């Protein structure tokens, strides 16, 4: 029994007796008061003069931080790092950021409240506490209420404290000491739990790996494969001779499939722009240029698009002398066949759209070094 | 006495504005009608919530809520009077409407006879429900018959359904149909948020001022805290709904929706919109966010007053731009405000003179008074 005293415990019959004793002893400097009850007792916080928990302030700070972080992150991504127009809205549209800001605020607040309460303020997981060695503990989880006065140093007088508790109406009192040696059981338990967790991770990882190895063709979504359609070599009742695919009729060309015979920009130079240079054509050209060419060649066709470095090639500056003198047909060829890092846009654009882009490109070139006489 | 004089001054001012500018007069009349209905209906909702959930904390405040709910009577009467303004207020009552097939689809709903019938039905249901809930509660005080208490509890689910339907109908009829080409499904919920907020604020204000007079003795921090908590929650709820409606319409940018917001976000109303966000969300939110402030009578009183003013501003924001009116507060607005505020105060004051301040016949009143957070 030579161990250090942790606290003196007084057991009371009911919550009223406990509240009464707490308000009697509070502020008399007997030591740090703490209460143990089987259920929450109203008014105990006031009776013990507990300080307000700092949790609310922590949540406020972290919640605000969440709002700010979500806003800055979205702004940086959408308006700065990877600017892509979505739905025709301005790049930095705060309206679109609000839902995420709201959610991140809630997330940060909830995590702070939970983690802060559990780990910081309640100091869990604490698998051991000196009070657990008290013989009154089983009663305290059932129908008894206790007040403890914790020792705060050498000059703690256990006997006088017992007396004070008895005076305050305690049915019985007990001196709680630190147990002989802190139990290492909690450490073993924690290590065991951590080990089991690590093992579970490894097993789950390996299982996933082997599942994918052994069943590599688990079809994720095969509904598109199983629709009624005509296979390449199947017969059909639509065409004569039960052929699945009928040959193209002799001497005809499918709509929009005129062959494109040219191999080089020089050969294509013989082509002339068939469209008139009207406002409507220029407007259409601008619309198509902005949709298709602008990302790479830039809004002014000066080769300064919004591509990131990952693209590797540098799109041509189409405003230079060289391209001002480039024949229409050769530009048409660039659109049809592409060049090196520029892919072909034959599929993406109709013939009229290609020619209208060329009209618009000419306008951009002229605007590059416009003269006063160009002004209307 | 002063209130009576103010009411008369307000009435004269209103008569004047009716002659000079009928459209503006009816707009103000409509806003203030909805104001009275909101405060009354929101309070009655609080009463029926208590019966419905068996809540204990609100029992000491229930009589106050029942008294504020009596505003439904002048509110309903004002609404019936507003029917006279239909030809001035609503485009769908003009000759030549509907102009396009989209709006033609709404003729079955938007026509004078059916509209009048709906308004009358709403008024009858509100006054009837108030009679059942508030009258039954007074009756209970007299007879102490526990069966009466049970009857109130059984009536409440019915009232909740009536409440949901009538709030939605009111929002669609008196707010949305000012711009008949506009669509918004969520407007009923939006108005509900404002209705409950103004009911809560009116009850809080009434409770705090009664406490100041030394009445409502048993009502403590804990009871007020719950009112403040509700107020806080629904300030956020209103903002959530208001923003959700705005964001969807802003994103989709459909012509039959977006014009409504263009009227309110561009030009002079743009500043009003920002101001609304400030007084309807930012200030009340931060004023009530801490624990101590939700139950502090002084804080609760001024935030409640602010929320009522915000609901008024919100209603103006809903009604005025649709009629092409600018965000102005001048004589016609002041006169209508004087008239309705003083009549409302007189009405509630008369109600507080009748019966006990606490529902003494409620079997659970003791429990309610002992309520602790």
Cβ–Cβ contact A88 with B under 8 A: yes
Residue A217: per-residue pLDDT: 64
Average of per-residue pLDDT across A122-144? 85
Q: Which of residues 20-49 of A touch B (CB under 8 A)?
A: 42-43
Task: Share the mean pLDDT of chain B.
Answer: 94
Average of per-residue pLDDT across B206-235? 94
Cα of A74 to nearest chain B Cα, Å: 17
Question: In chain B, where are the structural domains located?
Answer: 2-99+106-369
The minimal CB distance from A87 to the residues B243, B251, B372 is found for B251
Residues with Cβ within 8 Å of B240's Cβ and at least 6 positions away in sequence, in order, are: none
CB contact under 8 A, B251 and A88: no
Q: Kindly indicate the confidence band of residue A2, based on its pLDDT and cuts at 50, 70 and 90.
A: low
Q: Which two tokens stand for residue A255?
A: 């709509």
For residue A96, the chain B residues in CB contact (below 8 A) are: 247, 251
Percentage of residues in chain A having pLDDT higher than 70: 95
Q: Which two tokens stand for residue B352?
A: 């507080």
Per residue in B143-182, pLDDT (tens digit) is: 998 899 999 999 999 999 999 999 999 999 999 999 999 9
For residue B247, the chain A residues in CB contact (below 8 A) are: 95-96, 98-99
Rounded Cα–Cα distance for residues A343 and A86 (Å)? 24
Q: How far is CA B146 from the centre of its chain?
A: 32
For residue B246, the chain A residues in CB contact (below 8 A) are: 95
Residue A156: per-residue pLDDT: 81
The minimal CB distance from B243 to the residues A43, A88, A98 is found for A98
CB contact under 8 A, A60 and B289: yes
Start-to-end C-alpha separation, chain B: 41
For residue A42, the chain B residues in CB contact (below 8 A) are: 372
Average of per-residue pLDDT across A20-26? 88
Rounded Cα–Cα distance for residues B173 and A368 (Å)? 57
- Reply yes or no on whether the pLDDT at A280 is more than 80: yes
Residues with Cβ within 8 Å of A91's Cβ and at least 6 positions away in sequence, in order, are: A78, A79, A83, A84, A85
CB contact under 8 A, B290 and A56: yes
Of A308, A292, A262, A310, the residue nearest A83 (C-alpha)? A308
pLDDT higher for A349 or A237? A349
- Reply yes or no on whether the pLDDT at A241 is more than 90: no
- Reply yes or no on whether the pLDDT at A5 is more than 90: no
Which residue, among A42, A55, A64, A101, would best test binding to B if mutated, counting the most B CBs under 10 Å from its CB? A42
Q: Reply yes or no on domain A265-370 having CATH 1.10.760.10.
A: yes
CB contact under 8 A, A95 and B251: yes
Which chain B residue's Cα is nearest to A42?
Answer: B372
B3 contacts B346 by C-beta, under 8 angstroms: yes
The minimal CB distance from A56 to the residues B247, B250, B291 is found for B291
B332 contacts B17 by C-beta, under 8 angstroms: yes
Of A137, A128, A125, the residue nearest A184 (C-alpha)? A128
Rounded Cα–Cα distance for residues B25 and B88 (Å)? 10
B289 contacts B311 by C-beta, under 8 angstroms: no
Rounded Cα–Cα distance for residues A342 and A315 (Å)? 8
Q: Which two tokens stand for residue B209?
A: 């001022």
Which chain A residue's Cα is nearest to B372?
Answer: A42
- Reply yes or no on whether the pLDDT at A185 is more than 90: no
Phi, psi dihedrals of residue A12, rounded to the nearest 5°: -120, 160
Cα of B325 to nearest chain A Cα, Å: 27
- The neighbouring-strand residues paired with B205 are none
pLDDT higher for B59 or A124? B59
Rounded Cα–Cα distance for residues B289 and A343 (Å)? 58
Q: Kindly indicate the confidence band of residue B206, based on its pLDDT and cuts at 50, 70 and 90.
A: very high
Length of chain A: 376
A236-245, B151-160, B361-370: range with highest mean pLDDT: B151-160
Q: Tell me the three-class secondary structure of chain B, residue by residue.
A: CHHHHHHHHHHHHHHHHHHHCHHHHHHHHHHHHHHHHHHHHHHHHHHHHHHHHCCCCCHHHHHHHHHHHCCHHHHHHHHHHHHHHHHHHCHHHCCCCCCCHHHHCCCCCCCHHHHHHHHHHHHHHHHHHHHHHHHHHHHHHHHCCHHHHHHHHHHHHHHHHHHHHHHHHHHHHHHHHHCCCCCCCCHHHHHHHHHHHHHHHHHHHHHHHHHHCCCCCCCCHHHHHHHHHHHHHHHHHHHHHHHHHHHHHHHHCCHHHHHHHHHHHCCHHHHHHHHHHHHHHHHHHHHHCCHHHHHCHHHHHHHHHHHHHHHHHHHHHHHHHHHCCCCCCCHHHHHHHHHHHHHHHHHHHHHHCCCCCCCCCCCCHHHHHCCCC
Residue A221: per-residue pLDDT: 67
Residue A254: per-residue pLDDT: 79
Of B103, B92, B68, B102, the residue nearest B199 (C-alpha)? B68
Residue B188: per-residue pLDDT: 96
Which chain B residue's Cα is nearest to A87?
Answer: B251
The minimal CB distance from A98 to the residues B247, B289, B290 is found for B247
- Reply yes or no on whether the pLDDT at A200 is more than 90: yes
Rounded Cα–Cα distance for residues A348 and A354 (Å)? 9
In what side-by-side order are the strands of the sheet with A145-150?
A: A32-36, A145-150, A5-12, A172-177
Q: Which of residues 97-126 of A touch B (CB under 8 A)?
A: 98-99
Of A291, A303, A260, A267, the residue nearest A357 (C-alpha)? A291
Residue B217: per-residue pLDDT: 87
Q: Tell me the three-class secondary structure of chain A, residue by residue.
A: CCCCEEEEEEEECCHHHHHHHHHHHCCCCCCEEEEECCCCCCCHHHHCCCCCCCHHHHHHHHHHHHHHHHHHHHHHHHHHHCCCCCCCCCCCCHHHHHHHHHHHHHHHHHHHHHHHHHHHHCCCCCCCCHHHHCCCHHHHCCCCEEEEEECCCCCCCHHHHHHHHHHCCCCEEEEEECCCCCCCHHHHHHHHHHHHHHHHHHHHHHHHHHHHHHCCCCCCCCCCCCCCCCCCCCCCCCCHHHCCCCCCCCCCCCCCCCCCCCCCHHHHCCCCCCCCCCHHHHHHHHHHHHHHHHHHHCCCCCCCCCCCHHHCCCCCCCCCHHHHCCCHHHHHHHHHHCECCECCCCCCCCHHHHHHHHHHHHHHHHHHCCCHHHCC
Rounded Cα–Cα distance for residues B358 and B200 (Å)? 17
Residue A1: per-residue pLDDT: 46
Q: Kindly indicate the confidence band of residue A310, based on its pLDDT and cuts at 50, 70 and 90.
A: confident
Rounded Cα–Cα distance for residues B104 and B108 (Å)? 8
pLDDT higher for A52 or B308? B308
Q: Kindly indicate the confidence band of residue B258, based on its pLDDT and cuts at 50, 70 and 90.
A: very high
Q: Which two tokens stand for residue A354?
A: 């290609």
Q: Kindly indicate the confidence band of residue A184, based on its pLDDT and cuts at 50, 70 and 90.
A: low
Cβ–Cβ contact A51 with B under 8 A: no
Which chain A residue's Cα is nearest to B247?
Answer: A95
For residue A56, the chain B residues in CB contact (below 8 A) are: 290-291
Average of per-residue pLDDT across A308-328? 87
Q: Which two tokens stand for residue A182?
A: 């802190």
Rounded Cα–Cα distance for residues A178 and A243 (Å)? 94
CB contact under 8 A, B247 and A96: yes
Rounded Cα–Cα distance for residues A373 and B317 (Å)? 51
Q: Kindly indicate the confidence band of residue B69, based on its pLDDT and cuts at 50, 70 and 90.
A: very high
- Reply yes or no on whether the pLDDT at B237 is more than 90: yes
Which chain A residue's Cα is nearest to B236?
Answer: A102
Average of per-residue pLDDT across A292-318? 86
Which residue, among A64, A98, A109, would best test binding to B if mutated, counting the most B CBs under 10 Å from its CB? A98
B245 contacts B207 by C-beta, under 8 angstroms: no
For residue B290, the chain A residues in CB contact (below 8 A) are: 56
Residue A189: per-residue pLDDT: 84
pTM, two decimal places: 0.72
The minimal CB distance from B372 to the residues A42, A87, A99 is found for A42
Task: Share the mean pLDDT of chain A.
Answer: 87
Residues with Cβ within 8 Å of B114's Cβ and at least 6 positions away in sequence, in order, are: B108
Which chain A residue's Cα is nearest to B370?
Answer: A42
Rounded Cα–Cα distance for residues B339 and B32 (Å)? 9
pLDDT higher for A211 or B40? B40
Q: How many CB pairs under 8 A join A and B?
A: 19
Which chain B residue's Cα is nearest to A97?
Answer: B247
Cα of B247 to nearest chain A Cα, Å: 6
Q: What is the largest CA-CA distance in chain B?
A: 63
Residue B71: per-residue pLDDT: 97
Residue A151 has a CB neighbour count (10 Å cut-off) of 22
CB contact under 8 A, B246 and A95: yes
The minimal CB distance from B250 to the residues A43, A52, A95 is found for A95
Which chain A residue's Cα is nearest to B292?
Answer: A52
Rounded Cα–Cα distance for residues A69 and A1 (Å)? 56
Per residue in A148-182, pLDDT (tens digit) is: 998 887 778 888 889 889 988 899 999 988 877 65
B→A contacts (Cβ < 8 Å), by residue, are 243, 246-247, 250-251, 253, 289-291, 372
The minimal CB distance from B247 to the residues A52, A56, A95 is found for A95
Which of A127-136, A193-202, A349-358 is the least confident region?
Answer: A127-136
Q: How far is CA B148 from the centre of its chain?
A: 28
Percentage of residues in chain B having pLDDT higher than 70: 100
Which of A87-96, B33-42, B187-196 is the least confident region?
Answer: A87-96
B350 contacts B71 by C-beta, under 8 angstroms: no
Cβ–Cβ contact A238 with B under 8 A: no
Q: How many CA atoms lie within 13 A of A355 on its CB side?
A: 12
Which residue, among B244, B250, B370, would best test binding to A if mutated, counting the most A CBs under 10 Å from its CB? B250
Average of per-residue pLDDT across B308-328? 95
- Reply yes or no on whether the pLDDT at B318 is more than 80: yes
Which of A290-299, A366-375, B66-75 is the least confident region?
Answer: A366-375
Rounded Cα–Cα distance for residues A98 and A104 (Å)? 10
Q: Which two tokens stand for residue A202?
A: 């490894």
A235, A329, A359, B153 from A243: Cα distances, Å: 5, 41, 45, 77
Residue A183: per-residue pLDDT: 60
Which chain B residue's Cα is nearest to A88?
Answer: B251
Cβ–Cβ contact A197 with B under 8 A: no
Q: Which two tokens stand for residue B166?
A: 């009538």
Question: In chain A, where are the structural domains located?
Answer: 1-179, 265-370
């Amino acid at each position: 029994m030579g161990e250090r005293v942790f606290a003196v415990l007084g057991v009371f019959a009911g919550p009223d007796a406990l509240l009464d004793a707490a308000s009697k002893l509070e502020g008399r400097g007997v030591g740090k008061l703490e209460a143990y009850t089987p259920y929450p007792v109203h008014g105990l916080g006031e009776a013990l003069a507990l300080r307000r928990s700092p949790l609310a302030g922590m949540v406020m700070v972290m919640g605000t931080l969440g709002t700010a972080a979500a806003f800055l992150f979205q702004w940086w991504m959408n308006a700065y790092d990877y600017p892509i127009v979505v739905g025709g809205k301005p790049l930095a549209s705060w309206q679109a950021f609000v839902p995420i800001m709201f959610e991140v605020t809630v997330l940060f607040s909830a995590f702070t409240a939970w983690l802060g309460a559990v780990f910081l303020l309640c100091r869990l997981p604490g698998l051991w506490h000196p009070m657990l060695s008290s013989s009154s503990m089983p009663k305290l989880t059932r129908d008894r209420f206790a007040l403890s006065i914790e020792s705060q140093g050498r000059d703690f007088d256990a006997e006088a404290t017992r007396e004070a508790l008895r005076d305050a109406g305690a049915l019985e009192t007990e001196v709680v000491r630190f147990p002989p040696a802190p139990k290492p059981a909690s450490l073993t338990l924690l290590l065991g739990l951590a080990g089991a967790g690590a093992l579970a991770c490894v097993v789950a990882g390996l299982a996933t790996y082997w599942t994918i190895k052994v069943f590599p063709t688990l079809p994720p979504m095969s509904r598109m494969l199983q629709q009624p359609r005509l296979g390449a070599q199947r017969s059909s009742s639509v065409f004569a001779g039960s052929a699945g695919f009928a040959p193209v009729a002799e001497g005809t060309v499918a709509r929009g499939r005129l062959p494109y015979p040219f191999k080089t920009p020089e050969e294509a130079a013989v082509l002339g722009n068939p469209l008139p240079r009207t406002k409507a054509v220029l407007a259409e050209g601008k619309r198509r240029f902005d949709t298709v060419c602008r990302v790479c060649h830039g809004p002014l066709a000066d080769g300064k698009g919004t591509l990131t470095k990952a693209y590797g090639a540098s799109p041509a500056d189409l405003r230079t002398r060289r391209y001002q003198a480039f024949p229409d047909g050769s530009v048409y060829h660039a659109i049809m066949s592409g060049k090196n890092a520029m892919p072909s846009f034959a599929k993406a654009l109709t013939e009229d759209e290609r020619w209208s882009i060329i009209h618009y490109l000419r306008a951009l070139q002229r605007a590059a070094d416009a003269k006063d006489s160009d002004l209307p | 006495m002063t209130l009576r004089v103010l009411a008369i001054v307000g009435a004269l001012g209103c008569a004047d504005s009716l002659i000079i500018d009928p459209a503006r007069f009816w707009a103000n009349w409509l806003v203030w009608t909805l104001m009275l209905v909101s405060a009354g209906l929101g309070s009655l909702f609080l009463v029926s919530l208590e019966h419905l959930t068996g809540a204990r904390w609100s029992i000491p405040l229930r009589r106050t809520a029942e008294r504020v709910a009596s505003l439904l009577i002048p509110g309903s009467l004002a609404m019936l009077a507003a029917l006279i303004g239909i030809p001035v207020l609503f485009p769908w009552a003009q000759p030549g409407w509907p102009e396009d097939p989209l709006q033609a689809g709404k003729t079955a709903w938007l026509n004078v006879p059916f509209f009048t019938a709906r308004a009358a039905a709403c008024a009858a249901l509100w006054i009837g429900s108030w009679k059942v809930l508030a009258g039954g509660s007074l009756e209970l005080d007299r007879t102490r018959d526990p069966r009466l208490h049970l009857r109130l509890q059984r009536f409440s689910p019915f009232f909740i359904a009536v409440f949901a339907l009538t709030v939605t109908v009111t929002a669609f009829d008196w707010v949305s149909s000012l711009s008949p080409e506009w669509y918004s499904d969520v407007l009923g919920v939006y108005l509900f948020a404002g209705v409950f907020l103004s009911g809560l604020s009116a009850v809080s204000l009434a409770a705090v001022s009664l406490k100041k007079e030394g009445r409502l003795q048993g009502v403590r921090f804990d009871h007020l805290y719950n009112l403040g908590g509700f107020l806080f929650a629904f300030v956020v709820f209103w903002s959530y709904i208001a923003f959700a409606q705005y964001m969807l319409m802003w994103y989709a940018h459909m012509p039959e929706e977006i014009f409504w917001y263009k009227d309110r976000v561009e030009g002079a109303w743009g500043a009003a919109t920002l101001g609304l966000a400030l007084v309807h969300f930012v200030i009340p939110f931060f004023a009530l966010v801490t624990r101590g402030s939700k139950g502090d009578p002084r804080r609760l009183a001024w935030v409640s007053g602010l929320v009522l003013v915000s609901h008024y501003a919100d209603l103006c924001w809903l009604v005025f731009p649709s009629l092409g009116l600018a965000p102005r507060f001048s004589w016609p607005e002041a006169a209508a405000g004087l008239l309705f505020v003083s009549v409302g105060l007189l009405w509630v004051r008369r109600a507080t003179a009748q019966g006990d301040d606490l529902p003494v016949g409620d079997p659970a009143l003791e429990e309610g008074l002992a309520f602790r957070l």
